[in-house]
Structure 1
Amino acid sequence: MANPSFVYRPPMSPYLDIVYRDNDMVVAIKPSGLLSVPGKAVEHRDALITRINRVFPTATVVHRLDMATSGVMVLALNKDSHRHISKQFELRKTKKRYFARVYGHMTHDTGEVNLPLICDWPNRPKQKVDHENGKRAVTHFEVIERSKDESGHAFTLVALYPITGRSHQLRVHMLALGHPILGDRLYAHPKALAMAPRLQLHAESLSLTHPTDAQWLNFQSPIPFSHYQAASMATVPEEYE
């Protein structure tokens, strides 16, 4: 296992950050360090869905974020909404944008990573690139800024647009480019790990069609590790749509 010394300490403040709800769906901001759904162990029962169910008992999960990743999550409040929203994710009708701080200065301003992924079973939950047996995984990226931290270590703030939704996709794709995400306990080398107290990956924007009235909705959350203010997803360049 890749996390033998892991101790689950979910953040308690804010306990629950809900940014939208109606009769069909609820949107919340998951903090870094909180599971999306409960784990098998008793000590891993605290999760975003557990907290939301205390307020909205009918809420169900339609997609997940890694425990270490923060950002926007949408949950369904009835079976019809669950079916409708799940289908949007399955057919890639949603639009998602993440922001990450990665190690070093990325060379290209924009680009695509097309590398198939598979579970690295002896080192689970890690994933790895596997050109023979891996499932298709595609990520578009756009460099926002190249900078240095207070110690003079170079990093890049990059916007990431996952076309597919494989487990750990963004983390492994950035690693494959030679730019692991800062603070990544699973994939970062010691220098990149030491540059941040948490995984510097945030699901900043999620756009989808409302399950009842078909209205196009966009939900955004400020990047907790950067002062950069992203434009609305409505202005995303066409090559990332």
Structure 2
Amino acid sequence: MPKFGPTKAAIDLNETHIVPKIPTPIRLQEYGVGLFRAAFTKSALKKALKKDYVTVNGVLATSGTFIRGGEHIELSIPPKAGPKKKLIFPLRVLFEDDYLAVVHKPAGILVSGNSFKTVAKALEGNLRPSGHVDATIPWPVHRLDYATTGILLIGKTSSSIRNLNRMFEDKAIKKTYYAVTIGSMERSGQINAAVDGKASQSEYTQVRSVASERFGQLNLVRLEPRTGRRHQLRQHLSGIGNPILGDQIYGPDNLILRGKGLYLHAHSLQFEHPLAPGEPVELKAPLPLRFTKLFGDDIVWCFFFILLF
């Protein structure tokens, strides 16, 4: 006997989706990522499934439900009290089409989460609605730390969000960062220290260095993380004795630069467009002036190098 979901009378938020023809069956908990604005992420969708908020053809779905094409999926969430405030927060849009967008994340704001002020909640007020058939609310497909600035990739359709998530998992998206580090260091190297017990790898190249009365030496460093652990670059650089300037977690207490923020910047992303395989995309977020100002007369050279690489 099928178990049916809640009645329409009890529903405050009701979203529906009709599955188009798909090549192979896929689990709902994978297919449904980015499908419904009220259960947008994979973890949120799992919670909605556990709470019996999702039905497929009128029957309550589970994490084991497979989608084969043609199904009617419905998300039904009981009412919550209180009006929802809209966040107005201007973001610099670096690129946008119907499938994805790239914005510049400023320091001092979370990418997503339960806080009212997040990049995710500000996206609708900064991006054009997608005209694609599976358009959904725009959503970040990766994270940057609260204090980190730079390039942030956004999906605007359900299919692009799924594809971009898969590309990050498969390491098909190349990320480049720049940081200002403290202390004398090798010109280049690879760091393989585990982060939180997991295998991790980062590569670095010293671009410029300058003597500093307070810090001994400051370095502009180009970084390429090969894995994506939380705080990976910060931990790796601290671990080799070259913490990032302004790092209040992994930097030494006597060398904290207060009031200037963390000198870590997500500079570029390289990947194939998720809806046009074989079409290369390279997107960059300009380096903040506060970085290059530290290197005095070398500022023009720094900008030239970073434009090339």
Q: Please give the range of the TM-score, normalised by the shorter of the 2 chains.
A: 0.7 to 0.9
> Once structures 1 and 2 are overlaid, which stretch shifts more, 210-219 or 199-208?
210-219
Deviates more, 1:195-204 or 1:71-80: 195-204
Alignment of 1:1-241 (within 5 A): 15-39=90-114, 44-56=115-127, 58-106=137-185, 108-118=186-196, 134-149=197-212, 151=214, 153-194=216-257, 197-214=260-277, 215-224=279-288, 225-226=291-292, 227=299, 228-229=302-303, 230-233=306-309
Residues of 2 paired with 1:76 and 1:152: CA distance? 41
CA contact (8 A) 1:181 1:192 kept: no
CA deviation string 1:194-239 (max 9, x = no partner): 2771100000111111111231111111211224221445xxxxxx
The answer to whether the 8 Å contact 1:38/1:50 transfers is: no
Q: Distance in 2 between matches of 1:152 and 1:136?
A: 31
One-letter amino acid of the counterpart of residue 167, structure 1 = R
Alpha-carbon deviation of 1:15? 2.6
Segments of 5+ residues of structure 2 without an aligned counterpart are: 1-86, 128-135, 293-298
> In the superposition, relative to structure 1, how do residues 232 and 82 fare at CA in structure 2: closer, same or farther (>3 Å)?
farther
What's the CA shift for 1:60? 1.5
Distance 1:50 1:149, change over 3 A: farther
Give 1:37's aligned amino acid. S
**Residues 147 and 47 (structure 1), Cα distance of their counterparts in 2 relative to 1, 3 Å cut:** same
Q: Which has the larger radius of gyration?
A: 2
Q: Deviations over 1:58-98 (max 9, x none)?
A: 10221000010000011100110011111111110111110
Distance 2:184 2:148 in 1: 22
**CA–CA separation in structure 1 for the residues paired with 2:215 and 2:250:** 22
CA gap 1:97/1:23 in 2 versus in 1, 3 angstroms: same
- Cα offset, 1:175, TM superposition: 0.4
1:49 partner letter: A
Normalising by structure 2, we get a TM-score of 0.61
How far the C-alpha of 1:158 sits from its partner, in A, is: 0.7
**Is the contact made by 1:32 and 1:69 (CA closer than 8 Å) also made in structure 2?**
yes
Q: 1:95 to 1:196 in 2, by over 3 A?
A: farther
Supply the AA of the counterpart residue of 2:124: N
Instruction: Sort the Cα spacing of 1:109 and 1:191 in 2 relative to 1 into closer, same or farther, 3 A.
Output: same
The answer to whether the Cα contact below 8 Å between 1:62 and 1:74 also exists between their aligned partners in 2 is yes
- % same residue: 30
**CA distance in 1: counterparts of 2:146 and 2:250, whole angstroms:** 14
Structure 1 CA distance for aligned equivalents of residues 90 and 154 of structure 2: 17
Number of residue pairs matched by the alignment = 202
In structure 2, do the counterparts of structure 1 residues 96 and 152 end up closer, same or farther at CA, with 3 Å as the change threshold? closer
Q: Which residue identity is paired with 2:169?
A: E
Offset at 1:150? 6.6
For residue 18 of structure 1, report the CA deviation from its aligned partner. 0.6
